[in-house]
Chain A
């Protein structure tokens, strides 16, 4: 599942930035449109982190809602499920403003 691949990459990023320190918490931003299943990601994260400096770290997901700018009426609106449509006029021609994020925002590192 793609949650496992994502978890693998998150652990790699965190390990690299940790520079030998222990990672105790990872903040991850996840756009709504990424369709990440939090429980699957949490499970994968725990599994992949085993034996790395990230082992036992808490994973905090911050969900970023999808938002779009309508080319038809110019309204900005929050987008729900597919089909994505403008909340004001119902138009489908949207410029995505957010919702596709997928990045490690920050880490909590243990200093000895």
Chain B
């Protein structure tokens, strides 16, 4: 048998398939009138605690829904269940290599469980990871990153892809500042170096500092 090789030009973006699904999600959100936040962080930055404080405050003012992407347990979702909000958890372990982030298809699979028309702001709580979620759009309006002061000042320089993609950075656990050797100015300078002019707020899920500001930020974006 004679074999020959041919070269075929493809020019297809590695993320094109995900982008198309993200666009489809986007259309669903627009139809339902949702403002969608892709909430990202490293593990243990305090996303869920911050969401708890947020839900306590916006109750009655803003109809919040949460799509939760969690790897190991249902623990995070359990913590939010007491608020009786539209809440769905997406299993990220189904895809091979897909356990480190939510992609547009995983988000789509969870949307059927959510009453989108009863939601003003949908928070998509991404998997705690500083690399992978940055690559995958899920149909969000904005990307908010929760960063803990316990993570040190250098992370923006080590993970620029993620920090560059954020529209707002919530600098969390700010109450710990006096106990830590964390140079806030240096962190901000590093953040500015990869994402000039990015918005940021200093918050503490423990003391509640800055949570009102963050809630107002969300309320201003509630679709009318």
Contacts and interface: CB of A to CB of B under 8 A. Distances in A.
A34 B162 CA distance: 10
A64 interface: no
A5 B97 contact: yes
B134 to A, nearest CB: 8
Size category of the A interface is 35 or more
Contacts of A95: none
Contacts of A17: 8, 10, 12
Given A2-B135, A104-B10, A107-B7, A9 B193 contact: no
Main secondary structure of the interface of A (DSSP, over half): mixed
Closest 6 CB pairs of A and B: A83-B193, A4-B97, A2-B132, A103-B13, A82-B160, A106-B9
A37 B4 CA distance: 32
A22 B103 CA distance: 28
Given A1-B100, A48-B97, A105 B10 contact: yes
A17 B13 CA distance: 13
B1 A112 contact: yes
25 contacts: A1-B97, A1-B131, A5-B97, A5-B135, A5-B136, A6-B14, A8-B98, A9-B15, A9-B17, A14-B10, A17-B8, A24-B5, A35-B160, A82-B157, A83-B194, A92-B196, A102-B14, A103-B13, A104-B10, A105-B11, A106-B7, A107-B7, A108-B5, A109-B7, A111-B3
B217 interface: no
Interface of B: 1, 3-18, 95-98, 100-101, 103, 131-132, 135-136, 156-157, 160-161, 193-194, 196
A12 B193 contact: no
Given A2-B131, A5-B135, A92-B196, A104 B5 contact: no
A14 B100 CA distance: 23
A62 to B, nearest CB: 13
Contact of A110 (B5, B131, B193): B5
Contacts of A109: 5-8
Interface in A64-90: 82-84
A35 B196 CA distance: 19
A2 B100 contact: yes
